[in-house]
Amino acid sequence: MAMKLYCFGESGNSYKAALTMTLAGVDWTPVFVNFFHGDARSPEFRALNEMGEVPVLRDGDEVLSQSGLIQYHIAEKTGKLLPQDHHLRQEVMRWVLWDNHKMSSQAGTLRFLMNFVPEEKRPQEVIRWLSGRLRDAFKVLDSHLEGRDFIVNDLPSLADTACCGYLYYPEPFTFDRKAWPNIDRWLDNIAALPGWKHPYDMMPGRPSDRGL
C-alpha cells in the first residue's frame, strides 16, 4: 500500500520527505494539508501530530513526524540514500541535524515572513537578523561543497535531500544561487538525479492557489 505524506507544496520540510521517498523509489501519495487555512492546527491534525507540524508520514500502522525521522525511516526501509559505513552514516545525520537547526528553520521562517505575511506586517528587524544567520549557514554549506558533487562521500544521501529543502523555491528570501557557486552546482547535481521534481510539481499547493 502506498505511503501517505501529509504535506503542502510551499513546505520545504515536506519537500525533504517527498524528495527522499521519490529518489528512493518509494510508492507514496500526497495528502494535502491546507496549512494557510489553519488545518495543521485542527484537532484532527493534532491527533496525528501533537506538534501541529507538517510533514507527517503514514506508513501502514506507523505515523511519523519530523522530516529528518521520516527521511531516516525511508533510508532504513529501502537501503537508499544512507551509506552502510558507520562513520559515513554519522556524517549524513550530522548534516541532517545541522540543516534542521541552522538552515531550514531559518530559511523557512524568513521565506514565510518575506512572502506570506501581509507586507505591512513584515518585521524588518527580524528579517535582517535572520538573513544574517542564514548567510552564515550558506557560507558553511558552500565552502563544504567546494570540490564535492554531494555533501557526504560524493554520493546523494539524506544530507542532500535535507539541505536542499528550501533552495529550489522561487520566492525571494535573500538566497541568490549565483552568489554561492558551489551550492548552485550542487543543486544542479540533485536536480539531475532520476525522478527529481520541483517541490511545486511534487506536492499540492502553491502560492498562486491563494492569488499570490
Ligand X SMILES: N[C@@H](CCC(=O)N[C@@H](CS)C(=O)NCC(=O)O)C(=O)O
Contact footprint for ligand X (CB under 6 A): 11-13, 40, 52-55, 66-68, 100, 108
* Non-local CB neighbours of 101 within 8 Å, separated by 6+ positions: none
- Comparison of 108 and 205: residue with beta carbon closer to ligand X: 108
Identify the three-state secondary structure at position 2. Answer: coil
- Comparison of 96 and 190: residue with beta carbon closer to ligand X: 96
Least separation in angstroms between residue 14's CB and ligand X is 6
Q: How far is CA 205 from the centre of its chain?
A: 15
Sheet holding 28-32, edge to edge: 28-32, 3-7, 56-59, 62-65
- Comparison of 162 and 187: residue with beta carbon closer to ligand X: 162
- Comparison of 22 and 106: residue with beta carbon closer to ligand X: 106
Least separation in angstroms between residue 28's CB and ligand X is 16
Closest CA to 55 of 209, 172, 203, 212: 203
CA-derived radius of gyration, the chain: 17
| Amino acid at position 97, single letter | L
- Comparison of 87 and 101: residue with beta carbon closer to ligand X: 101
Least separation in angstroms between residue 181's CB and ligand X is 27
Least separation in angstroms between residue 154's CB and ligand X is 25
* Non-local CB neighbours of 106 within 8 Å, separated by 6+ positions: 130, 133, 134, 137
Least separation in angstroms between residue 192's CB and ligand X is 25
Least separation in angstroms between residue 95's CB and ligand X is 13
- Comparison of 57 and 145: residue with beta carbon closer to ligand X: 57
**DSSP per residue, 145-211:** TTT-SSTBTTB--HHHHHHTTTTT--S-SS--GGG-HHHHHHHHHHHTSTT---HHHHSS--GGGGT
